[in-house]
Amino acid sequence: MTKKKNELWEWTKALLIAVILAAVIRYFLFAPIVVDGLSMMPTLKDQDRMIVSKISYKIGEPRRFDIIVFHAPEQKDYIKRVIGLPGDTIEYKNDTLYVNGKAYKEPYLDEYKKQVQDGPLTDPFTLEEKIGRKTVPEGELFVMGDNRRFSKDSRHIGTVPMEKVIGKTSIVYWPLKDAHIVSVK
């Protein structure tokens, strides 16, 4: 009888440890997220399932073109691409991104740019026109979806405070046939 009791106790302890470990990993390190909508097409598809690294910005800083997940004003989590870092000036003209006056290529947009026949993929704008400031404020990010014509992003909701950022994402794990690591550039 004591042997069965011990065995049951050992299994219970193992199960408790597994549950606690899973909760710690999910809450502090990594979490799954589902892409909801078409705003990151063609890079990410609706209903793609991804892993969010919650520790990436606790040990490092966001970089331009990272794909991040953040709490949006509508009580939802959004997935967008970092375009502007604190202190940056942002401008779009002739379908080209200019950061601090320097033109940047955005190869992840090439597929959509070829399809667009009726004007630019990204309408021209300056940061000042969109957020009323010449530069991205300290501690905030300017983000945009890759599907520029159909994305609710910093052009509409303003810059994203770092405390609203959940983490960085780059691994699509489902559907299995589409599993891949998303290229930043």
Q: Which of 39, 53, 56, 151 is the catalytic position? A: 39
Q: Which residues contact 174 (CB under 8 A, 6 or more apart)?
A: 48, 49
Per-residue pLDDT band for 25 (boundaries 50, 70, 90) equals low
Residue type, 53: S
Residue type, 168: K
Per-residue pLDDT tens over the stretch 84-140: 999 999 999 988 999 999 999 988 888 888 887 788 888 889 999 999 999 999 999
User: DSSP string covering 9-44, please?
Assistant: HHHHHHHHHHHHHHHHIIIIIEEEEE--SSTTTTTS
Q: What is the predicted pLDDT for the residue at 1? A: 62
Residue 100: inside a domain, yes or no? yes
Q: For residues 112 and 143, which has the higher predicted lDDT (pLDDT)?
A: 143
Query: Above 80 in pLDDT, residue 2?
Result: no
Query: Above 80 in pLDDT, residue 23?
Result: no
CATH (domain of 113): 2.10.109.10
- 151 catalytic residue (yes or no): no
Residue 15: inside a domain, yes or no? no
Q: Which residues of 35-63 are buried (b: 16+ CB within 10 A; e: fewer)?
A: bebebbbebbeeebbbbbbbebbeeeebe
Lowest model confidence (mean pLDDT) among 18-32, 42-56, 106-120: 18-32
- 183 catalytic residue (yes or no): no
Q: Which residue range(s) make up the domain with 156? A: 30-181
Per-residue pLDDT tens over the stretch 36-48: 888 888 888 888 8
Residue 22: inside a domain, yes or no? no
**Number of structural domains in the chain:** 1
Per-residue pLDDT band for 26 (boundaries 50, 70, 90) equals low
Residue 24: inside a domain, yes or no? no
Q: Which of 53, 54, 56, 80 is the catalytic position? A: 80
